[in-house]
């Protein structure tokens, strides 16, 4: 909101000055600054920000897997066993904690046996959900788990509840996890992997209330109990170290239908017996404003920027609402809220296959990502896992590829800047966010989180949503003697600035530093920016 000094309005003599002030604000945005006091109490500790909230989602959809990850061993694009080297190197820098695969809606039509064995004998099937294109099945179980290994992540496998059977899913888990010489383990060995794989997370269905089979809560609950009982990690050594976490389908939006669904699953959990269990409840929430997605991912102005950010902040209300329902049935917070699909969903880029969900990724998306990660961090006691949709070439991607070319998106950089927050301990902070308004849309001007990493270093992540004003954060710290702050800041000339193959560094982080004076820090945030710093003592 533009705040006009009252004295200017009242005094006729001041009118020329008022004109100059207005011209400065309107013609040269960014020159004014808003002072915001922020206090951090580093002597106090909150919940751990689970590294799994920085998880990713890779579905067989468009060029997400084929071309994005998999080019095949005979490709001229540099690869290791068919998996692109450039993509692996980029993802390693994100320390991706887990990858959800093979879907999404695709998961409830996926039959794993089609994707194992010699490449030339794999079944060729269809992908009816996503453009009705050919699914060559050349990227299957062994290839996905090789990819997980190459990027140093963990597997979150979504099993087929909609059109599969519990036996099919149990066999898949046995194929992947057993250390005993069963027929399925021998088949795995014949396919090049004698050692059992580790499966850390299991999704039991996807959106079972819709593309996963249009089930009622009661019907899904019956399936959940059966799958939870029989689809096991068959490797006791892995179970001892970390039991495989089983994630049930949860709500997909706001409204009575989702409340009823969440109540039903959590009520059943409350009275579950030894023979079935769940450790997570999924929640899906995309930033769309209204369906079908009509906002564009390129060439938009400040009004759309503000509306999309307003819409993304609805995540806060949803997380609070479903956490409250979960608290009723699970006050000890044993079940995690797993936001395993989130992100901006825009109109498909003109000329692209609408079934491939192709969109660009702008500075707005980096800010959108930071706002959501902050919400998850503030609810770290319940939100212990999340998966942005999706990893490569689909929706709010980290990476965009075209044949041999690859470009890192603004969202990629937001995730890279947030790496220090993985498994860090939240530190309480207080600030008056102020207001940034564009037309009828009003938003907090700034957002921030603080946390200590495992070495005790204090980190701050600060977002200035206002595209017209700098934010001068006056940071006072308790529990640390700050000398300086160093880190990175991410901004760009415009809210819709993007990285392209021709111009890959339009939105890229730059070094940021500030010296403390009298133990206080003045952090000068650029308009429409994201800044992550560590505090040096
Ligand atoms: O991410 C794209 C799709 O959105 C997923 O397949 C589905 O689960 C959701 O509706």
Query: In the numeric block, which tokens belong to residue 468?
Result: 């017209």
Please name the residues in contact with 12: beta carbons below 8 A apart, sequence gap of 6 or more. none
- Entry pTM: 0.94
Question: Do residues 94 and 54 make contact, with C-beta atoms less than 8 angstroms apart?
Answer: yes
Which entry of 67, 207, 304, 526 is annotated as an active-site residue? 207
pLDDT tens by residue, 484-513: 999 999 999 999 999 999 999 999 999 999
The question of whether 341 is a catalytic residue gets the answer yes
Quick one: pLDDT band at residue 25, thresholds 50, 70, 90? very low
Q: Whose CA is nearest to atom 2 of ligand 1?
A: 104
Residue to mutate (ligand 1; options 101, 110, 160, 206; most atoms within 8 A of CB): 206
For the cut 80, the answer to whether the pLDDT of residue 57 exceeds it is: yes
For the chain, give the percent of residues with pLDDT over 70.
94
Question: Do residues 137 and 94 make contact, with C-beta atoms less than 8 angstroms apart?
Answer: no
Question: If you measure from the C-alpha of residue 105 to the centroid of ligand 1, how many angstroms do you get, rounded to a whole number?
Answer: 6
Mean pLDDT, the chain, integer: 94
At 9 the pLDDT is: 36
476 has which bridge partners? Answer: 39, 520
> Kind and range of the H or E element at 22?
helix 15-27
At 132 the pLDDT is: 96
Torsion region of 325: left, alpha or beta (phi above 0 gives left; psi -120 to 50 gives alpha): alpha
Q: Which atom of ligand 1 is nearest to the CA of 107?
A: 6
Query: In the numeric block, which tokens belong to residue 258?
Result: 């989702």
The bridge status of strand 510-517 relative to strand 32-41 is: unpaired
The bridge status of strand 399-402 relative to strand 405-408 is: antiparallel
Q: Which atom of ligand 1 is nearest to the CA of 341?
A: 1
The question of whether 302 is a catalytic residue gets the answer no
Give the max Cα distance, the chain: 91
Quick one: pLDDT band at residue 522, thresholds 50, 70, 90? very high
For residues 367, 372, 377, 381, the Cα torsion angle rounded to the nearest 10 degrees is: 180
At 236 the pLDDT is: 84
Question: If you measure from the C-alpha of residue 346 to the centroid of ligand 1, how many angstroms do you get, rounded to a whole number?
Answer: 13
Do you find a cis peptide bond into 352, omega within 30 degrees of 0? no
pLDDT tens by residue, 446-468: 999 999 999 999 999 999 999 99
Mean pLDDT of 57-84: 98
Range with lowest mean pLDDT among 21-25, 47-51, 137-141, 299-303: 21-25
At 518 the pLDDT is: 84
Q: Whose CA is nearest to atom 3 of ligand 1?
A: 104
Query: In the numeric block, which tokens belong to residue 67?
Result: 């071309």
Q: Whose CA is nearest to atom 8 of ligand 1?
A: 104
Question: If you measure from the C-alpha of residue 260 to the centroid of ligand 1, how many angstroms do you get, rounded to a whole number?
Answer: 21
User: In angstroms, rounded to a whole number, what is the distance separating the alpha carbons of residues 409 and 361?
Assistant: 6
At 208 the pLDDT is: 98
For helices 166-177 and 141-151, angle between their N-to-C axes, nearest 10 degrees: 50
Rounded to 5 degrees, what are φ and ψ at 213? Answer: 130, 5
E strands within 324-444?
A: 336-344, 383-389, 399-402, 405-408, 425-426, 429-431, 435-438, 441-444
Question: Do residues 157 and 203 make contact, with C-beta atoms less than 8 angstroms apart?
Answer: yes
pLDDT tens by residue, 162-178: 999 999 999 999 999 99
Quick one: pLDDT band at residue 29, thresholds 50, 70, 90? very low
Which entry of 67, 174, 304, 341 is annotated as an active-site residue? 341
Quick one: pLDDT band at residue 519, thresholds 50, 70, 90? confident
Rounded to 5 degrees, what are φ and ψ at 249? Answer: -70, 130
User: In angstroms, rounded to a whole number, what is the distance separating the alpha carbons of residues 275 and 256?
Assistant: 30
Helix (H, G, I), strand (E, B) or coil at 358: coil
Query: In the numeric block, which tokens belong to residue 424?
Result: 């860090």
The DSSP letter of residue 108 is G
pLDDT tens by residue, 224-269: 999 999 999 999 888 776 788 999 999 999 999 999 999 999 999 9
User: In angstroms, rounded to a whole number, what is the distance separating the alpha carbons of residues 203 and 245?
Assistant: 8
pLDDT tens by residue, 319-364: 999 999 999 999 999 999 999 999 999 999 999 999 999 999 999 9
* Length of the chain as a residue count: 537
At 419 the pLDDT is: 98
Q: Which atom of ligand 1 is nearest to the CA of 357?
A: 2
Q: Whose CA is nearest to atom 7 of ligand 1?
A: 104
User: In angstroms, rounded to a whole number, what is the distance separating the alpha carbons of residues 58 and 64?
Assistant: 6
Question: If you measure from the C-alpha of residue 417 to the centroid of ligand 1, how many angstroms do you get, rounded to a whole number?
Answer: 26
Question: If you measure from the C-alpha of residue 156 to the centroid of ligand 1, how many angstroms do you get, rounded to a whole number?
Answer: 16
Q: Per-residue DSSP letters for 34-50?
A: EEEEEEEETT----B--
For the cut 80, the answer to whether the pLDDT of residue 21 exceeds it is: no
In sign, the C-alpha dihedral spanning 425, 428, 431, 437 is: positive
Residues with CB under 6 Å of ligand 1 are 59, 103-105, 206-207, 341, 389-390, 395
The bridge status of strand 99-101 relative to strand 425-426 is: unpaired
Mean pLDDT of 295-312: 98
For the cut 50, the answer to whether the pLDDT of residue 304 exceeds it is: yes
For the chain, give the percent of residues with pLDDT over 90.
91
Question: If you measure from the C-alpha of residue 407 to the centroid of ligand 1, how many angstroms do you get, rounded to a whole number?
Answer: 24
Quick one: pLDDT band at residue 5, thresholds 50, 70, 90? very low
At 27 the pLDDT is: 44
Question: Do residues 176 and 232 make contact, with C-beta atoms less than 8 angstroms apart?
Answer: no
Q: Which atom of ligand 1 is nearest to the CA of 390?
A: 1
Question: If you measure from the C-alpha of residue 115 to the centroid of ligand 1, how many angstroms do you get, rounded to a whole number?
Answer: 21
Residue to mutate (ligand 1; options 131, 211, 249, 288; most atoms within 8 A of CB): 211
Nearest to 104 by CA among 127, 83, 88: 127
User: Nearest-5° angle of CA 223, CA 227, CA 232?
Assistant: 175
User: In angstroms, rounded to a whole number, what is the distance separating the alpha carbons of residues 391 and 64?
Assistant: 7
Nearest to 312 by CA among 281, 285, 339: 285
Q: Which atom of ligand 1 is nearest to the CA of 389?
A: 1
Q: Which atom of ligand 1 is nearest to the CA of 210?
A: 10
Nearest to 118 by CA among 133, 140, 102: 140
pLDDT tens by residue, 325-334: 999 999 999 9
User: In angstroms, rounded to a whole number, what is the distance separating the alpha carbons of residues 127 and 121?
Assistant: 18
Location of structure tokens 């977002």: 463
Residue to mutate (ligand 1; options 102, 341, 354, 396; most atoms within 8 A of CB): 341
At 32 the pLDDT is: 79
Q: Whose CA is nearest to atom 9 of ligand 1?
A: 104
């Amino acid at each position: 909101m533009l705040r006009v000094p009252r004295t200017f309005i009242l005094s006729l003599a001041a009118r020329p000055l008022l004109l100059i002030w207005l011209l400065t604000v309107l013609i040269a945005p960014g020159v004014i600054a808003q002072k915001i006091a922020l206090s951090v109490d580093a002597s106090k500790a909150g919940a751990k920000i689970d590294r799994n909230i920085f998880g990713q989602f890779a579905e067989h959809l468009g060029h997400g897997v084929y071309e994005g990850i998999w080019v095949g061993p005979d490709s001229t694009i540099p690869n290791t066993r068919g998996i692109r080297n450039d993509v692996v190197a980029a993802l390693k820098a994100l320390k991706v904690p887990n990858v959800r695969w093979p879907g999404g809606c695709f998961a409830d039509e996926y039959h794993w046996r089609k994707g194992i064995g010699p490449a030339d004998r794999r079944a060729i099937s269809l992908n009816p959900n996503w453009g009705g294109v050919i699914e060559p099945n050349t990227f299957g179980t062994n290839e996905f788990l090789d990819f997980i290994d190459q990027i140093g992540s963990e597997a979150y496998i979504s099993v087929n509840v909609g059109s599969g059977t519990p036996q099919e899913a149990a066999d898949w888990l046995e194929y992947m996890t057993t250390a005993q010489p069963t027929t399925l383990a021998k088949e795995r060995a014949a396919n090049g992997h004698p050692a059992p794989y580790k499966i850390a997370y299991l999704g039991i269905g996807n959106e079972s209330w819709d593309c996963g089979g249009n089930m009622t809560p009661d019907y899904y609950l019956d399936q959940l109990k059966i799958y939870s009982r029989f689809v096991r990690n068959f490797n006791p050594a892995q179970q001892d170290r970390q039991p495989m976490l089983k994630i049930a389908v949860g709500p997909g939006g706001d409204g009575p239908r989702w409340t009823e669904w969440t109540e039903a699953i959590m009520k059943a959990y409350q009275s579950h017996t030894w023979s079935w269990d769940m450790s997570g409840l999924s929640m899906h929430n995309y930033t769309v404003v209204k369906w079908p997605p009509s906002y564009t991912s390129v060439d938009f102005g400040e009004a759309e920027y503000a509306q999309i950010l307003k819409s993304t902040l609805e995540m806060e209300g949803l997380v609070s609402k479903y956490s409250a329902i979960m608290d009723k049935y699970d006050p000890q917070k044993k079940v995690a809220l797993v936001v395993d699909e989130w992100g901006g969903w825009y109109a498909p880029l003109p000329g692209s296959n609408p079934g491939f969900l192709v969109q660009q990724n702008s500075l707005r998306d980096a800010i959108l990502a930071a706002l959501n990660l902050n919400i998850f961090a503030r609810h770290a006691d319940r939100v212990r896992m999340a998966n942005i949709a999706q990893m490569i070439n689909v929706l709010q991607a980290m990476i965009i590829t075209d044949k041999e070319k690859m470009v890192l998106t603004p969202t990629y950089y937001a995730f890279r800047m947030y790496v220090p927050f993985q498994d860090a301990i939240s530190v309480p902070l207080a600030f008056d966010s102020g207001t940034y308004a564009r037309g009828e849309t009003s938003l907090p001007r700034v957002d921030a989180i603080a946390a200590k990493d495992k070495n005790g270093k204090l980190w701050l992540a600060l977002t200035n949503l206002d595209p017209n004003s700098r934010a001068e954060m006056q940071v006072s710290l308790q529990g640390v003697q700050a000398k300086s702050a160093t880190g990175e800041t991410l901004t760009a000339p415009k809210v819709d600035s993007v990285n392209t193959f021709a111009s890959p560094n339009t939105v890229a982080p730059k070094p940021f530093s500030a010296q403390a004076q009298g133990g206080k820090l003045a952090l000068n945030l650029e308009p429409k920016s994201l800044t992550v710093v560590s505090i040096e003592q």
